[in-house]
Amino acid sequence: MPAYTYAQTGDIDSLKSLVRSDNKILQIQAYTELCWEYKFRNADSARTFGKKAIELAEQINNDSLRANALHAVGITYQAQGDYKEALVYESQTLALRDSEKQPIKVADSYNNLGIIQDELGNQAEALAYYDKARRIYEKQKALEKLAGVWVNIGIVHKAQKEYAKAITYYKLAVDLYRTTGNQFGAAACQSNLGSIYLYLKKYDSSLLYSQIAIAYFEEQKIRQFLPIALSNAAIAHDTLKNYTQAIDYFKRAIQIQREFQSNKELSFSLIHLAGIYAKQKLYGDAKKLVDEAYTLAKASGIKEQQMQAFHLLASIAEAQHDYKASLGFIKQAETLEDSIFQLEKTKQIATIETQYETEKKEQLLREQQLKLTQNQYLLIFLIILFFLLILVVFLWRKKITIETRQVQAEREKQFQIQLTSALIQSQEKERSRVAKDLHDGLGQYISSVKMIINQSEDSVQKQADIILNEMHQEIRKISFNMMPTSLQLFGLGKALQELSDRIKQTIRITIHINDLTDAKRLTEEEETALYRIIQEWINNSIKHANANEIFITLSFEDGKYNLMIEDNGKEFQIEKAKKSNGNGWKNMISRIQMVQGQFNVDSSPAGTTFTLEFFVKEV
């Protein structure tokens, strides 16, 4: 880094002292910087520094430094116009640079190769290199450098007389330079735009851009760039017949051109100014300027300007009625014109050829770009398709999983119901058995003991008789509660009648049994289940709802059995019943599930109506 700091201050002495450093890297950097600093002042000595840097970099095998040095040496050749040599060095530079680690430097090489190719007349190659550089700069967001590439591309198009294209690229560059705050870059581009609009005969636009550039260069005192902008503005004014301004601008341009001794441009300006003077009939002034221009043009070997000078001289002579002189000048002009024509023709053919090549290359590039874009779209499409596919598969699998789970849950539920049903059935069978045993076993023994005791009239025996009576009753009661015989013998209606009769004996309540089924018999399981459900509901009505009237209606229609229990008790709290700790509600639900029934509870403070419906299993 220090090397660059010194370089930026331009302190060449410091760089020279760094060259004697022990640090090889610093040494190489210093030599490279010296080469860079000297490239325009003294290309030969610059090259000596550069080659030293290359040699040292090779010694320590440092590709990065070697590349920088090779690049700098390449530039020294470029400065001298030796583009073939420059091409060799820049190509080596590019080969050493790693597009992964230093993309900007690689792009710099591409850009420079573009410049070299342009100078060598290979405009198509030049554009290809610029395009490569452009991509990298865009990706790396190196805006300043990108603007440089736009300018370079603009230059190629301008040379090919593709003015519209050139304008587009220059304008891109102007925008970028404005973004990065590089006013000089912007002004230079605007100056160029001023000249291109002249070619397009858009004098107003030309004038506008030239004047912007002039204002900036004057303000910043960048005099060497002023003449071009000034002459462009002058030409525009001339064409627009603003001769006073045209003369003024040319005079300012000529003054600076004289200062910088840029003879080629000077002769150009002089001829033009002379032309304006001639139009104003200031033949004396005009002739003086033309003579000077011709001398300069001849010295620099610019045939076109010489020819123009002769033409101008001819028209001045003609205006002054010196036809002989005029004819002489015309002849001289024609001689020059012929040679220029030949030259021009060859050049034109070459230009057309390169233009064709460029078009072909550009077409190829566009096609590649299009193909690339198409491929990108295809890729994006495929990626989206892929993700969609994954999504579909995922959702599908999820659906299957959910379905499987639902099926499983349903199966488990069914299994639970079957299990509960089996449990309930075995429980009921057990109850039935116990009831029978009580009747037929224990009961019989009590009966017989009673009969034996009954045979005498003893008071002790009488007491025993009373107890035995109670026992007998108790057994019958337990037996009934276990399983009413009438349920199995006569069905639900009769059994319910019996149940209600028994309840009425202990509690003040009215229970109405309405069997509208013609004593329809169901399976033992169904009847027992219904009986228990009703028993449970009556229990609830009495215990929790304090009902004193209950209506039970049984009906049967189209294979559907319907049970309805109404009471006049308090409002039934279904949630409370569900949450109650007792097994009553749970057992009832289990039995409803057993018969695959659907129940409904309508409750109000006036009472509750419970309905249960199910399709009967045919006995």
Q: Are 95 and 106 in contact (CB under 8 A)?
A: no
CA distance 274 to 530: 128
Any contact of residue 444 with other proteins (CB under 8 A)?
yes
Rounded to a whole number of angstroms, the minimum distance from the CB of residue 451 to other proteins is 3
- Give the range of 251-259, 281-289, 411-419, 446-454 binding other proteins by CB under 8 A: 446-454
The CA-atom distances, in angstroms, between 391 and each of 388, 395, 400, 401, 404 are: 5, 6, 14, 15, 19
The two structure tokens encoding residue 590: 């289990």
364-386 burial string, b = 16+ CB within 10 Å, else e?
eeeeeeeeeeeeeeeeeeeeeee
- Give the range of 17-25, 202-210, 229-237, 450-458 binding other proteins by CB under 8 A: 450-458
**Which residue from 191, 271, 264 is spatially nearest to 232, judged by alpha carbons?**
191
- Give the range of 85-93, 191-199, 231-239, 602-610 binding other proteins by CB under 8 A: 602-610
Q: In the complex with other proteins, which residue's Cβ is closer, 57 or 533?
A: 533
Any contact of residue 299 with other proteins (CB under 8 A)?
no
Any contact of residue 562 with other proteins (CB under 8 A)?
yes
The backbone region for 241, taken as left when phi is positive above 0, alpha when psi lies in -120 to 50, beta otherwise, is: left
Number of CB atoms found within 10 A of residue 510's CB: 12
Q: Are 565 and 551 in contact (CB under 8 A)?
A: yes
- Name beta bridge partners: 614: 561
Quote the strand ranges of 313-388, DSSP E.
Answer: none
- Give the range of 158-166, 235-243, 439-447, 572-580 binding other proteins by CB under 8 A: 439-447
Any contact of residue 557 with other proteins (CB under 8 A)?
yes
Any contact of residue 460 with other proteins (CB under 8 A)?
no
The CA-atom distances, in angstroms, between 569 and each of 140, 416, 497, 555, 606 are: 86, 33, 21, 23, 7
Q: In the complex with other proteins, which residue's Cβ is closer, 23 or 454?
A: 454
Q: In the complex with other proteins, which residue's Cβ is closer, 178 or 450?
A: 450
The two structure tokens encoding residue 486: 């009438």
Rounded to a whole number of angstroms, the minimum distance from the CB of residue 562 to other proteins is 6
Rounded to a whole number of angstroms, the minimum distance from the CB of residue 594 to other proteins is 21
Any contact of residue 431 with other proteins (CB under 8 A)?
no
Rounded to a whole number of angstroms, the minimum distance from the CB of residue 440 to other proteins is 6
Q: In the complex with other proteins, which residue's Cβ is closer, 11 or 613?
A: 613
Q: In the complex with other proteins, which residue's Cβ is closer, 77 or 480?
A: 480
Any contact of residue 465 with other proteins (CB under 8 A)?
yes
Residues 501-530 within binding reach of other proteins (CB under 8 A): 501, 512, 514, 516
Q: In the complex with other proteins, which residue's Cβ is closer, 243 or 556?
A: 556
Rounded to a whole number of angstroms, the minimum distance from the CB of residue 391 to other proteins is 43
Any contact of residue 45 with other proteins (CB under 8 A)?
no
**Interface with other proteins (CB under 8 A), residue from 434, 468, 503, 577:** 468
Rounded to a whole number of angstroms, the minimum distance from the CB of residue 441 to other proteins is 9
Q: Are 154 and 192 in contact (CB under 8 A)?
A: yes
Any contact of residue 262 with other proteins (CB under 8 A)?
no
Q: In the complex with other proteins, which residue's Cβ is closer, 178 or 439?
A: 439
| Binding track, positions 183-202, relative to other proteins; x by CB under 8 A | --------------------
Rounded to a whole number of angstroms, the minimum distance from the CB of residue 488 to other proteins is 11
Any contact of residue 548 with other proteins (CB under 8 A)?
no
Rounded to a whole number of angstroms, the minimum distance from the CB of residue 509 to other proteins is 13
Q: In the complex with other proteins, which residue's Cβ is closer, 168 or 486?
A: 486
Q: In the complex with other proteins, which residue's Cβ is closer, 171 or 439?
A: 439
Any contact of residue 368 with other proteins (CB under 8 A)?
no
- Give the range of 21-29, 171-179, 382-390, 608-616 binding other proteins by CB under 8 A: 608-616
CA distance 439 to 443: 5
Any contact of residue 168 with other proteins (CB under 8 A)?
no
Any contact of residue 455 with other proteins (CB under 8 A)?
yes
Q: In the complex with other proteins, which residue's Cβ is closer, 300 or 488?
A: 488
Say how many residues touch other proteins, by CB under 8 A: 51
CB burial of residue 320 (10 Å; 0-12, 13-18, 19+):
middle
The CA-atom distances, in angstroms, between 368 and each of 31, 126, 156 are: 42, 17, 21
Q: Are 262 and 277 in contact (CB under 8 A)?
A: no
Helices (H), 60-182: 63-79, 83-96, 103-119, 123-140, 143-159, 163-180
Q: In the complex with other proteins, which residue's Cβ is closer, 243 or 490?
A: 490
Those residues whose C-beta lies under 8 Å from the C-beta of residue 74, and which sit 6 or more positions away, are 85, 86, 87, 88, 89, 90, 93, 112
**Interface with other proteins (CB under 8 A), residue from 448, 463, 523, 573:** 448
Integer distance in angstroms from the first to the last C-alpha of the chain?
A: 104
Any contact of residue 574 with other proteins (CB under 8 A)?
no
Looking at residue 82, what DSSP letter applies?
-
CA distance 187 to 19: 38
Count the helix, strand and coil residues of the chain and give each as a percent rounded to the nearest 5.
Answer: 80, 5, 15
Residue recorded with tokens 């003294």: 42
Residue recorded with tokens 């002292």: 17
Report the interface residues with other proteins, using CB under 8 A.
436, 439-440, 443-448, 450-452, 454-455, 465, 468-469, 472-473, 476, 480, 484-486, 489-490, 494-495, 497-498, 501, 512, 514, 516, 549, 551, 553, 555, 557, 562, 564, 566, 568, 600, 602, 604, 606-607, 609, 611, 613
